[in-house]
Structure 1
Amino acid sequence: MVLRRLGIFFIIIYVFESLTVMAQSSFTVAVLGRKWVQVKRLSPVEMTLTSLSICRFFLQWTSMLNNFCFYFHPDCVLWHTGTIWEFTNILTFWLTSLLAVLYCVKISCIAHPIFLWLRWRISRLVPWLLLGALVISCAAVIPRAIRNHIFLQLAPLTHVPTNNSLIERLNMLEPYVSGAQKMFLLTIPFLLFLICTVFLMASLIQHRKKMQKYNTGHSGSSQKAHSTALKSLAVFFVIFLTYFLSVIITYTGIVSKRGWWYWAWEAGMYALISVHSTSLMMSSPTLKKAIKVKCWA
């Protein structure tokens, strides 16, 4: 009875977090979409935020559909929604890494020619980078789509011994092949995020040391702003690192999809997404202003 109550408790938390993430994503898309309609222009960060919000909305929707269908109807296999979840998850990693690149190029004080060139060209490169992330994510799920198609074709013929043994061999081989592929595809954007975060933190620390030579009031406010930025970067890094490790563990199949522990795991994973979405919303002047207007209203 206690375990059942724990399961219900974590299911409620998971549903609340999922609805929160979808509401945050919808609000971000609505506000930035309205701005684009009004001024016909979005900054590179706002373009990436809009794409990330759309991606996270579908990620959360497919996550809920997959989890509840599998938990309450184990015989129901949703191949297509699983493919959509994997696609949106990979795309989320790439878009988050692209945000780190944009912040690094925009804020860092590095005077290297590459950074200066990126800062000059970043507005024109962002649409192509978004398109590249979309193409990479689509290419990444092609093997899963092919595998799902094969399983769907062979499923009605499982009573045939030859086909049944073929399906069993595919089931044994698939976790090793797809697991290595997924880890490789997620590790690349994570390393990109890590490198950009380290560069940005190093740049802010270096700039803070230079500002400490002055004792004016403006210097004190600048140091406070730098400290806040460093703390925010540290929080972003911890959240993204924890989510990356959680997704890798989920892909390995260590966490069983039975019992209350699975729902506790899912609630913890998507709590990270909710916190990260909130942090990104508060870091955007346009979204922050819209939130204040809504609160006053």
Structure 2
Amino acid sequence: MVSSAPAVIFYLIISAMELLAGVVANGYIVALNCINWVKSRKLTSYDKIITSLAFSRFCLQVFVSSDNFLYKLYPDFFYMTETSSPYAVIWMFINQVSLCFASCLSVFYCVKIASFNQALFNWLKLKLSKLVPWLLLGSVLYCLVTTVAFAVFTYSSHNSTDCLSRNVTISDNNKNRAVFTFLIHGIGSISPIILFIASSALLIISLWRHIRKMNLNSDLNPSFRNSTMDAHVRALKSVVFFFILYNIYYMASTLSIGSLAYVSDELRITVCTIIIAAYPSLHSIVLILGNPKLKLASARILHSANC
């Protein structure tokens, strides 16, 4: 199915807006934290995580948006193994790193905010600040392993196809590569997905219990209701939004892998790519609005720009 010119233009406009939002939001987080690090020579554990996450999302946003433009302007690119194979390997690494860093942020929220009376949980609260750099480094190494496994198969499959299988068509080759990409993506993402879902679920349960307890106390004593409860409600909404957005992105990115072999289902691929490109910017904007330091700095920048 060939897209009409207005549909292609609309798609490119949406992709350009997502690219601009993602680059500005994630670039702002990275730039501000780097400036603060230069001034104070230290970063908090939270700042280390969101800076790493924002940088990975900055790269992901640029890569996904370029993918969207190529898909509409130069669709034959995805049939060219010589160029699409390295492209898929780079996407695999950036995507896996972004998912892992998002899981690290979810774990950080869970350990710092949730209230559970378990020895392991209390130990993590005390040691988390020292564990954060190792957690980030371990995430990068984990993503390297899964990406190298994908790269080895991709290039070995390409070489064996060139030497042994003249009867194998380009479509069959793309189909096999898409299936393996789907498997590597699923296997490589299963650990961060489980970690993210478990930590988010624990945090949501803890916040929900705490809000119910505060509601009960406020019913008994109306003066008890204060800004603390409002902060917990905002935190719960933010976590639920992050949980939904993360899982939608994962499902969309998994479904879009079929574009390597099944370009005919254009509507599904178009919707998936728009969702994928929206994820790196939407949650980063939520992080800025939910962080007093980032929000205040952005307000100052906007005020200066208006002046």
TM-score if structure 1 supplies the norm length?
Answer: 0.88
Show the counterpart of 1:268. 275
Show the counterpart of 1:213. 217
CA contact (8 A) 1:66 1:81 kept: no
> Where do 1:278-289 residues align within 5 Å?
278-289=285-296
Show the counterpart of 1:104. 110
Aligned equivalents of 1:228, 1:131: Cα separation in 2: 31
Show the counterpart of 2:166. 164
Show the counterpart of 2:188. 185
The letter of the residue matching 2:276 is M
> Where do 1:111-122 residues align within 5 Å?
111-122=117-128
> Where do 1:204-283 residues align within 5 Å?
204-211=207-214, 212-214=216-218, 215-253=221-259, 256=263, 262-283=269-290
Aligned equivalents of 2:237, 2:71: Cα separation in 1: 39
Aligned equivalents of 2:3, 2:167: Cα separation in 1: 41
The letter of the residue matching 2:109 is Y
Helix, strand or coil for the counterpart of 2:42?
A: coil
The letter of the residue matching 1:221 is S
With 225-234 and 63-72 compared, the bigger mean Cα shift is at 63-72
Gaps of 5+ in 1: none
Aligned residue pairs, count: 293
Q: CA RMSD in A?
A: 2.7
The letter of the residue matching 2:244 is V
CA contact (8 A) 1:62 1:81 kept: no
CA contact (8 A) 1:28 1:50 kept: yes
Helix, strand or coil for the counterpart of 1:213?
A: helix
Instruction: Please state how far the C-alpha of 1:167 moved relative to its aligned partner.
Output: 7.7
Show the counterpart of 1:50. 51
Gaps of 5+ in 2: none
With 282-291 and 59-68 compared, the bigger mean Cα shift is at 59-68
Aligned equivalents of 2:160, 2:250: Cα separation in 1: 34
CA 1:2/1:249 → structure 2, altered by over 3 Å: closer, same or farther?
A: closer
> Where do 1:57-72 residues align within 5 Å?
57-72=58-73
Instruction: Please state how far the C-alpha of 1:34 moved relative to its aligned partner.
Output: 0.6
Aligned equivalents of 1:154, 1:189: Cα separation in 2: 33
- Residue by residue over 1:102-132, the C-alpha shift from the partner in whole angstroms, topping out at 9 and shown as x without a partner, is 0011111212111110010001100000000
With 115-124 and 244-253 compared, the bigger mean Cα shift is at 244-253
Show the counterpart of 1:175. 178
Aligned equivalents of 2:28, 2:237: Cα separation in 1: 26
